[in-house]
Amino acid sequence: MSFNAIILEKEEATGVTCSLKNVNKQQLLAQQGDTLIQVAYSSINYKDALAITNKSPVVRKWPMVPGIDGVGCVVECASDRYQKGEQVILNGWGCGETHWGGLAQYAYLKSEWLIPLPNKFTAHQAMTIGTAGYTAALCIERIVDFGVKPHDGIVLVTGASGGVGSIAISLLAKLGYQVTASTSKIDEAYYLQKLGAVNVIDSQTLKETGKPLQKEQWSAVVDVVGSHTLANACAQTQYGGIVACCGLTQGMDLPATVAPFILRGVTLAGIDSVMASYDKRIAAWNLLAHHLDEEILSYVGRTITLNECVEVANKMIAGKIKGRFVVDVNK
Ligand SMILES: NC(=O)c1ccc[n+]([C@@H]2O[C@H](COP(=O)([O-])OP(=O)(O)OC[C@H]3O[C@@H](n4cnc5c(N)ncnc54)[C@H](OP(=O)(O)O)[C@@H]3O)[C@@H](O)[C@H]2O)c1
């Protein structure tokens, strides 16, 4: 039996290539796993875009099927965690990096990596959320658990028009927080306001070198951008506030001083979705199931085919997309 998959290959003569191929199931089953999934949808996250365009060394085993996300039906499970026919979600765990991922009609995975698809969401909605939305939920859980309340002040979301940013704005607004969205796409202000942003600011104001301490503006921050943006976000966070840091679209560097941390007691909280525990995943997906406005998902998401992934990945790296891209792997 064979199935369609995006395959990343590395050869000395040709370098890294990305193509849609028909793959033999035996090759898939050579991966370490105990659960065969018939994938319905995957999605394109920033890390997938980096892998597909080979802009960063995301892939560490070749050939590789990219796709850090997937949702689908269990075909067979050698452990007692899942029964045939159950719908499950995959987010992370090195899939698309060291283990074949979700941009394929089948995936062979470890059952402990999977979580049940929450009743609230369809498979398509789960991938509109995807790792981006689940990471937004991890950031917001951290902020809420830290004790930041809606009346404490405004929450800043950077890289606002992207996947993490879009879901973060929507979830924060639904939880009653006032959100300022920082974006390079000022002409998309309406999109961000419809998600729930009260203010929209030009991201350029955060991208340049700034002073170590600036006017206190934010009770909390969800930052996907890193570099100077993260440094400025910390410098603008209120006394005792928290900055949830999860991304690096401007850069992996952090050209900051310790001033916000030692003079204002600001907390810089690192957020990782890839290796997060089962309990953290379930808590984040529960937060989404209970508080995310479902209607927003059809507004945020677009569906593409496996064939369109390379084009979308290139646009994503160029910062030219907004919202989320769900991949129908059977088209
Ligand atoms: N820690 C984790 O577990 C985890 C999980 C998921 C994602 N991430 C990271 O979070 C980041 C965002 O992921 P995503 O899925 O939301 O990506 P995305 O959909 O591509 O959104 C990223 C947004 O960042 C902004 N941006 C793009 N290029 C930029 C640049 N050169 N300088 C400044 N801003 C830029 C753009 O927003 P505007 O045009 O609106 O400014 C873009 O829409 C990525 O770095 C990703 O690797 C980390």
Helix (H) or strand (E) holding 140: helix 123-146
CATH code of the domain in which 25 resides: 3.90.180.10
What string of H, E and C letters represents the secondary structure of 148-180?
Answer: CCHHHCEEEECCCCCHHHHHHHHHHHHCCCCEE
Asked if 224 and 311 sit in the same domain, the reply is no
Which of 287, 318, 279, 249 shows the shortest CA–CA distance to 129? Answer: 287
> How much distance in Å is there from the Cα of 27 to the middle of ligand 1?
33
Supply the DSSP string of 24-85, one letter for each residue: EHHHHHTSS-SEEEEEEEEEE-HHHHHHHHTSS----SSSB---SEEEEEEEEESSSS--TT
Q: What is the DSSP letter of 186?
A: G
How far apart are alpha carbons 100 and 67 in whole angstroms?
8
* End position of a domain, from candidates 224, 254, 270: 270
> How much distance in Å is there from the Cα of 163 to the middle of ligand 1?
7
DSSP reduced 3-state for 304: strand
Residue 186 lies in a domain: yes
How far apart are alpha carbons 331 and 324 in whole angstroms?
18
Residues 6+ apart with CB under 8 A from 234: 221, 243, 256, 260, 261, 266, 268
Q: What's residue 217's pLDDT?
A: 98
Structure tokens at 14: 């040709």
Asked if 264 and 134 sit in the same domain, the reply is yes
Residue 220 lies in a domain: yes
Q: What's residue 142's pLDDT?
A: 98
Q: What's residue 14's pLDDT?
A: 85
Asked if 148 and 95 sit in the same domain, the reply is no
Domain span holding position 165:
130-270
Q: What's residue 143's pLDDT?
A: 98
Q: Are 156 and 180 in contact (CB under 8 A)?
A: yes
Asked if 178 and 260 sit in the same domain, the reply is yes
Residue 279 lies in a domain: no
* End position of a domain, from candidates 253, 270, 287: 270
Asked if 159 and 248 sit in the same domain, the reply is yes
Asked if 113 and 134 sit in the same domain, the reply is no
Asked if 266 and 137 sit in the same domain, the reply is yes
Ligand 1: which residues within 6 Å by Cβ?
A: 45-47, 131-132, 135, 159-165, 183-185, 203, 224-225, 246-250, 271-274, 316, 319
Asked if 111 and 134 sit in the same domain, the reply is no
Backbone angles phi, psi at 236, to 5 degrees: -105, 0
Asked if 169 and 62 sit in the same domain, the reply is no
Residue 188 lies in a domain: yes
Asked if 76 and 32 sit in the same domain, the reply is yes
> How much distance in Å is there from the Cα of 6 to the middle of ligand 1?
23
Q: What's residue 220's pLDDT?
A: 99
Residue 277 lies in a domain: no
Residue 152 lies in a domain: yes
pTM confidence score: 0.98
Task: Return the residue matching tokens 């917001």.
Answer: 140
Residue 159 lies in a domain: yes
Q: What's residue 12's pLDDT?
A: 86
CATH code of the domain in which 228 resides: 3.40.50.720
Asked if 55 and 146 sit in the same domain, the reply is no
Given a cut of 50, the residues of the chain with pLDDT beneath it are none
Residue 308 lies in a domain: yes
Asked if 154 and 258 sit in the same domain, the reply is yes
Q: Are 227 and 272 in contact (CB under 8 A)?
A: no
Total domain count, the chain: 2
Q: Whose CA is nearest to atom 6 of ligand 1?
A: 132
